[in-house]
Amino acid sequence: MADETAPPHDLEGKTIVVTGATRGIGSALTHDLLARGAKVYCVVRDAERASALKDEWFRLTHNPECLVVGADLADMGQVRVAAEEIGAKEESLYALVHNAGAWPTTRRETVDGFETTIAVNHLAPFLLTHLLVDRLVAGAPARIVSVSSAVHTRGAIHLDDLQLEKSFSGRAAYCQSKLANVLFVRELAARLADKGVTANAVHPGVVKTDLGREIPRIIRAAVRLFSVSPEDGAAPLVRLVTDPELANVSGKYFHRFEQREPARQALDEDMQRKLWDLSCELLGLAPDAI
């Protein structure tokens, strides 16, 4: 008798890229996608851990189509190499899920000279999307999902100081980056409107992950009391990737399963374009490449 609790094989023949697949939401999401029959490229910093998980996922799902791509998303050179590796193997993609994230409490710069939070949470997804967009268009209808957060409502985009060199706090940097996620998908959705590719942002809930591992332990312990499991956190992402009813929904913000109006500043079309242009400038991309 079939296991009625098992995910349907509704992703057979579809190829999906997931960043940050080795821990928390990313690990739970990857497991679910593999169980549905998808081929999944796991873009991860810890390739050794990913290889071990790959064996476990195969044992649980019997799906061998899990490919590990090592890349530290704080290094834009590694992001480019990862995109080249995927693009060399795949002519089309069904979905790109930007799940990886960082929340350092002290200001640090990457090898490219970017502040780490904005680099990992915004610039890396921005760059990876640009480098893989042709594959997504070729696979249309296709979907892009970016993990944002409810704290985007507390963020502000500092166009004159995106790296927060003048004044830094871990909280301000994180909130700015999560607001950038929503601004990005709204501008991206408009640019891809006639190409069969959707782009949406989602707050998965407060999830038991190690994202805030630099936050004081007593605060982390209190937060975890109200946190959901990684599997529960991954569920809204699974829906955005698989739900047929969302096939034509784009440029939206979801608070778990509910579509909500994002923060007022996220609706600012002028800010969307300015952040887009600044991001292109920082990454050496043409503003009209998408």
Q: In the structure, what pLDDT confidence band is assigned to residue 51 with cuts at 50, 70 and 90?
A: confident
- State which amino acid sits at residue 3: D
Query: Domain locations in the chain?
Result: 15-282
Q: Is 149 exposed, middle or buried (0-12, 13-18, 19+ CB in 10 A)?
A: buried
- Tell me, yes or no, if 41 is annotated catalytic: no
Q: In the structure, what pLDDT confidence band is assigned to residue 49 with cuts at 50, 70 and 90?
A: confident
How far is the C-alpha of 289 from the C-alpha of 130, rounded, in Å? 7
**Least confident residue range of 9-13, 96-100, 210-214, 270-274:** 210-214
**Cβ pair 10, 36 in contact under 8 A:** yes
- State which amino acid sits at residue 35: A
Owner of token pair 């995927």: 86
pLDDT at 156 over 50: yes
Query: What pTM value is reported for the model?
Result: 0.92
Q: Which residues pair with 36 in a beta bridge?
A: none
Nearest to 234 by CA among 4, 63, 2, 7: 7
Q: Between these two residues, 209 and 228, which has the higher pLDDT value?
A: 228
CATH superfamily of 15-282: NAD(P)-binding Rossmann-like Domain (3.40.50.720)
Average pLDDT over residues 52-65: 94
The catalytic residue among 41, 94, 174, 253 is: 174
Q: In the structure, what pLDDT confidence band is assigned to residue 50 with cuts at 50, 70 and 90?
A: confident
- Give the model's pLDDT for residue 213: 52
Nearest to 96 by CA among 49, 64, 57, 133: 133
